[in-house]
């Protein structure tokens, strides 16, 4: 369903972004992945994406904290393939600390990578979508775009902000066959979640098992982690023609977390 379309997925060398890249490639899209990682891991991912889509896949190393690099990445995709027709703002980092100890530079980094990067990418990509008369923008927000948890001030603020940005750009592009939406996962077992376990253990004086069962999965009524593939399936739906009337939305895939 996406043959001939080009996609840029930020933060897609790992976790949810990589699953999204695979889902788009499996439908025939040309995919530009982005993010950090070992050269060999990235080369393997590109080979798999090319095999899945039957079309070229590229990696761009743009740092999502750098507006100039973000703009250059979008222009590179444009020059290589036209578009981008699909932009997935997925790059994100986490830092867990009580507000009084929260390092200011971590606040700045999270706001830059989890929120401002989506602004810079949309700003660069929307004119190309407008010129082609079709576009899909999906941002990976979070259950933390709807509710808060202690010790995650920057992340929760950035994800709430991402929803506001999404609604605004959705209204600006509504008449142009461009849709702009968020998906909001609950806890997905990825390196991002695994890496915050030690800090949560320290902040709350808990064991690893207690953090998994009593902090992470406590919020999720299904008592199961969401999978990256389940998030990717929702992104794929939003990229299809069946979702052309869905814009400005924030769709939860959180095992019932935000129903509670
Ligand atoms: P992950 O750590 O597995 O992947 C993050 C990706 O972003 C990697 O490819 C990494 O290289 C890239 N990245 C990090 N900093 C970057 C930068 N400065 N520039 C470019 N790329 C950068 O994490 P994940 O869990 O797959 O998270 C992906 C998105 O999903 C994030 O926005 C995260 O907030 C969101 N999310 C995750 C969960 C979860 O439980 N894992 C839940 C809700 C939302």
Mean pLDDT computed over 164-180: 98
209 part of a folded domain: no
CA of 12 to the centre of ligand 1 (A): 8
Does residue 198 belong to any structural domain of this protein? no
| pLDDT above 90 (res 120) | yes
CA of 90 to the centre of ligand 1 (A): 6
pLDDT of 154 reads 98
Q: Any idea how long the chain is?
A: 260
Give the Cβ contact number of residue 235 at 10 Å: 28
Residue at 195 is within a domain: no
Cβ of residue 90 lying under 6 Å from some atom of ligand 1:
yes
Q: Given the CA of residue 226, which atom of ligand 1 is nearest to it? A: 40
Angle subtended at Cα 163 by Cα 159 and Cα 166, rounded to the nearest 5 degrees: 130
What is the secondary structure of 26-94 as a DSSP string? HTT-EEEEE----HHHHHHHHHHHHHHHSS-EEEE---TT-HHHHHHHHHHHHHHHS--SEEEE-----
Average pLDDT value for residue range 50-67:
97
- Tens-digit pLDDT profile for residues 191-230: 888 888 998 899 899 999 999 999 889 989 999 999 999 9
Q: Does 199 map to a domain?
A: no
Known catalytic residues are 155
The mean pLDDT value of the chain amounts to 96
In a domain, 206, yes or no: no
Residue 210 belongs to some domain of the structure: no
DSSP 252: E
Which protein residue's CA is at the shortest distance from atom 21 of ligand 1? 35
Which pLDDT tens digit goes with each residue over 198-209?
988 998 999 999
Report the SS3 class of residue 250.
strand
CA of 175 to the centre of ligand 1 (A): 31
**Residue 112 in contact with ligand 1 by CB distance below 6 A:** no
Write the CATH number for 125: 3.40.50.720
In angstroms, rounded to a whole number, what is the distance separating the alpha carbons of residues 162 and 137?
12
Name the domain count of the chain: 1
pLDDT digit string, tens, across residues 65-102: 999 999 999 999 999 999 999 999 999 999 999 999 99
- Ligand 1 closest atom vs CA 64: 19
Per-residue pLDDT, 196: 85
Reply yes or no on whether the pLDDT at 118 is more than 90.
yes
Choice from 9, 11, 115 to test ligand 1 binding pocket (greatest atom count within 8 A of CB): 11
Scan for tokens 């695979």, then name that residue. 22
The pLDDT value recorded for residue 128 is: 98
Q: Scan for tokens 């082609």, then name that residue.
A: 132
Atom 34 in ligand 1: which residue has the minimum CA distance? 92
Per-residue CA distances from 113 to 13, 16, 101 (Å): 15, 16, 21
The answer to whether 51 touches 79, Cβ cutoff 8 Å, is no
Question: Is there a cis peptide before residue 84, judged by omega within 30 degrees of 0?
Answer: yes
CA–centroid distance, residue 16 to ligand 1 (Å): 7
Ligand 1 atom 31 nearest Cα: 92
- The minimum-distance atom of ligand 1 relative to the CA of 114 is 32
In a domain, 48, yes or no: yes
CB 231 within 8 A of CB 20: yes
**Two structure tokens written together for 117:** 């990067």
Coil, strand or helix at 251: strand
Looking at residue 192, its pLDDT comes to 81
Structural domain boundaries enclosing 72: 6-186+228-252
Residue 257 lies in a domain: no
Whole-angstrom Cα distance, residue 195 to residue 46?
25
């Amino acid at each position: 369903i996406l043959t001939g379309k080009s996609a840029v997925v930020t933060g897609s060398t790992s976790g949810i972004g990589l699953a999204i890249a695979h889902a788009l490639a499996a439908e025939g899209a040309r995919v530009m992945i982005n993010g950090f990682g070992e050269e060999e891991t990235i080369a393997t991912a590109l080979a798999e994406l090319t095999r899945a889509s039957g079309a070229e896949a590229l990696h761009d190393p743009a740092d999502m904290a750098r507006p100039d690099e973000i703009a250059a990445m979008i222009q590179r995709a444009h020059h290589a393939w036209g578009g981008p027709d699909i932009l997935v703002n997925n790059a994100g980092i986490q830092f867990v600390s009580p507000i009084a100890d929260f390092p200011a530079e971590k606040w700045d980094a999270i706001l830059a990578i989890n929120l401002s990067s989506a602004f810079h990418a949309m700003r660069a990509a929307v004119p190309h979508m407008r010129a082609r008369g079709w576009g899909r923008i999906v941002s990976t927000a979070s259950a933390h775009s709807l509710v808060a948890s202690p010790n995650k001030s920057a992340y929760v603020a950035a994800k709430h902000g991402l929803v506001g940005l999404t609604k605004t750009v959705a209204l600006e592009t509504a008449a142009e066959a461009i849709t702009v939406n968020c998906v909001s996962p609950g806890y997905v077992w990825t390196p991002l979640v695994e890496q915050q376990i030690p800090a949560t253990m320290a902040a709350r004086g808990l064991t690893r098992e207690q953090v998994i069962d009593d902090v992470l999965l406590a919020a999720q009524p299904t008592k199961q982690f969401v999978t990256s593939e389940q998030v990717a399936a929702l992104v794929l739906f939003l990229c299809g023609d069946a979702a052309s009337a869905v814009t400005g939305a924030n769709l939860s895939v959180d095992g019932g977390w935000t129903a509670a």
